[in-house]
Chain A
Amino acid sequence: MAGLGTPRLVEHGSVQHRVGQLLLFGLFAAIFLWQGLTAERPGLGLLTDAIILAIAVTGLNLITGFTGQISIGHSAFFGLGAYTTAILIDRGWTPGWTFPVAAVVAFVIGCIVGLPALRLKGIYLALVTLGLAVAFPAMLNYKHLAGLTNGALGIKNLTYLPPEWTPFDGRRDLHKWMFWLAVVIFLIVSVVASNLLRSRIGRAMIAVRDNETAAAVMGVDRAQVKTVVFGLSAAMTGVAGSLFAVKLTLVEPAIAQFTLLGAISILVAMVIGGTAATWGPLVGALAYTYINDWAKTQGEENDIAGLGGVIFAVVLILIARFAPFGVVGLLRKLRAKFVRVVPKLPAVQPVEPVATGDHT
């Protein structure tokens, strides 16, 4: 019997566990619904930015958190998605239809980029992806691609007006339309990621992350896993880029989210939330976005140039020191003092006595 101070054990998959998960999901859903219906324009815009970042982090989390392949080049996939959407809208496409195309394009490029992952590991793979992050903005400015990207001038007029079947009133409610569009896409991406992790590929991803050699011995096709997951990861981040493009209504090479700094932002948000944590991308993106915004406000209110950046860096250092497994990891640790989720034990089958022969 559990005594005082002993955490309550809850079996994974049990009714209690599922109720707990539903309550947590319900809490987030309630917050988003409340914000979506009542938030003012600036507040809703900031929350939308956080959700877009959460989508990008979900993608990165798949390849880095669950497959162990460090990537600091996901800004390139983000930008690829954004520019795919921009180029197609510029050519008359309905914005909504550009999103799946952007996902496919990013998937293909992601698979190609994943090829070095077959032979490189750790910091060396990180360097390759770093090269991608650095090269991408330069490619946007490349004169032979200017026919597509419009070079340094970028592509503008990317407004995605709410369709008539929605309850939104044109440009006046554009901020609400963007918010709910981001929420729906985030849900879709999260469901896809969750299902993937529960599948055979998901188990293979974790096996590769934990011990690649053992995974190979166990029959995991590492090349297939790494390549496909790189592609899926890129696709998700690319869709985030598409959303970003229609929210900003323009793309140009100078946008920070398409540069190495954007890649670092996605990585940092992932770490803040918690690597390989299901709720990590959302929690991390929210924390990153609001801490960053708060830090900037402190700098403005105190009229000290750079103060916002310093505050933000200090907060990150504190998180790394006291919550190395991210906010979700820290919350799990706190939860474990009261409730601990344990794996479901296989049912014990009664053993029939084996008939013994005459030993005489």
Chain B
Amino acid sequence: MKSRKIAALAVTAALALAACGGDDDDDTSSATDAPAPTTGEAPAATTAAPATTDGEAPATTDGEAPATTDGEAPATTAAPAGAEFAVDVSVCDDPGAATAAIEGPITIGTSYPQSGGPAVLFQPAGDGFQAYIDYYNEANGGINGQTIEVIAKDDQYAADQTKNNVDELVFDDEVNLLSGIIGTANNAAVQADLNAMCIPQLWALTGSTMWGAVDQYPFTSGVLVPYAIEVEAFLTYLQEQGASRLGLIYVNNDFGQEYKDAVDARAGEYGVEVVVEETIDAADSGAPTAQVSNLVAADVDAILAVPLGAQCIAFMSEIGNAQAANADFDPFIYQTGVCASTVFFGAVSNGGNDGVLTTTQFKDVANPEVAASDEDVITYLEAFAASGSAADPSGLAAAGWVTAEATVHVLEEAAATGVLSRESIANAARNVDWKPSLLREGLSFRMDATDGYAAEGAQLVAWDVAVGSFVDVGEVQSFDGLLGVFAG
């Protein structure tokens, strides 16, 4: 009889397990079917509207014209270039493999969600990546005659599956390098082993600051704006606006923790004090009613929000409810760049999204004027359409395109040294100084021995309910060299 009771309890629990499992982007590493929280990566690529041609001011208090795409200088000056970086292959498991010339097709391995809930958000990045590679091969016949091949494996956003995939890519498929892996935990799961084997792990599609560890993990680099830079951009804005009482609400995983750490480290520099902190459980997709109530009660004049997936919409909706109930509640609100998509912002119907800030580093490919006038955007849209992908090109697809473009640029630079090898690829990545075609004017990718982060600049944008899209707020801000290197 006891066995039957236990069996019934287990089945009931298993039904709950099945109901909870397979959730969308609330999942991360898991060998079981249990859902795992996401670490929130790869924001929608081009979410902001560019400068309008009718002179309409963006949501700034000084009426300043929005940033234009005419090559105008960024808001801050770039840090002077540091020393050139060179990897030390003597510590590799197999130094010979690291210096051996790559011959024949250049194979790039990658791992990202292609099925399950997270795939809806992240699959377009893979499509964009492949689209660029196909476009490049067709236009150039590869690099010095060596075509580029991509082997992509599905990890369902689970870090343990990413590790399995990378093991297969390295040992069975024998790829030359990895690029564009999505997810902080996913990249972290393979970082140590790939660096020990001196296999380039280029352009991790996450904004974690971990990828700036130039000395410890030189073969790993990140492609997105570090979360700490997003914080920097928002704090700069708050200082300009005279706001000083910040409420912080963040998801309780490594993704949210990075934002919190950045705020704790830098808020004081801008005269901003964190007066209240609230957390959201990574697996909780419900409205953060209690958390927002506490933010209202704390009388904050600014909020930095780091929700995840569906929480992005729930948070903004709850803000709308709070604003309807409290006429005086009108803080400056920033939401993580991971939420910076028309899909999320446009889904809020009660005005809670109006004026909410976020950042982007990419051109707004969704803007018809940009799509019609910017040659790089035209090239991207045509190539993406030709790829046959059904994904929205204005979403993460553009981030995938940029990631592939950055990968190819590094391969070109490496090949130009005379020997295309894992060593020369890593050196080319760590010494990059170049602007991707879809990056906003005034921004670029730059790294060296003292600067572990390629993308340290962004454009602050705000959602305009009247327009139904993002509008620029102020000018592009560059914090090049600010983060230095990741010390661990």
Contacts and interface: CB of A to CB of B under 8 A. Distances in A.
Contacts of A271: 6-7, 10-11
Nearest to A314: B18
Contacts of B257: 151-153
Interface string B20-40: 111010001111111111010
A248 B115 CA distance: 21
Contacts of B197: 171
Given A70-B9, A152-B253, A254 B28 contact: yes
Contacts of A275: 2-3, 6-7
Nearest to A271: B10
A316 B254 CA distance: 34
B236 to A, nearest CB: 25
A175 B167 contact: yes
Interface stretch (A97-105, A262-270, A335-343, A348-356): A262-270
Contacts, number: 190
Nearest to B191: A156
B192 A249 contact: yes
Chain A interface: which size bin? 35 or more
Interface stretch (A6-14, A19-27, A317-325): A317-325
B485 interface: no
A247 B253 CA distance: 21
Interface of A is mostly: helix
A320 B115 CA distance: 29
Interface stretch (A106-114, A192-200, A212-220, A301-309): A301-309
A305 B21 CA distance: 10
B19 A309 contact: yes
Contacts of B312: none
A248 B159 contact: yes
Contacts of B37: 254
A172 interface: yes
B22 A325 contact: no
B7 A324 contact: yes
A334 interface: no
Interface of A: 40-42, 45, 49, 64, 68, 70, 72, 126, 141, 151-154, 156-157, 159, 170-172, 174-175, 209, 244, 247-250, 252-257, 259, 261-262, 264-265, 267-268, 270-271, 275-276, 292, 295-296, 299-300, 303, 305-306, 308-310, 312-313, 316-317, 320, 324-326, 329
16 contacts: A41-B167, A70-B9, A151-B254, A156-B192, A159-B192, A171-B196, A252-B253, A256-B30, A256-B36, A261-B35, A268-B11, A305-B117, A309-B17, A309-B22, A313-B17, A316-B11
Interface of B: 2-4, 6-11, 13-22, 24, 28-37, 39, 93, 115-117, 154, 156, 159-160, 163-164, 167-168, 171-172, 185, 188-189, 191-193, 196-197, 252-258, 282
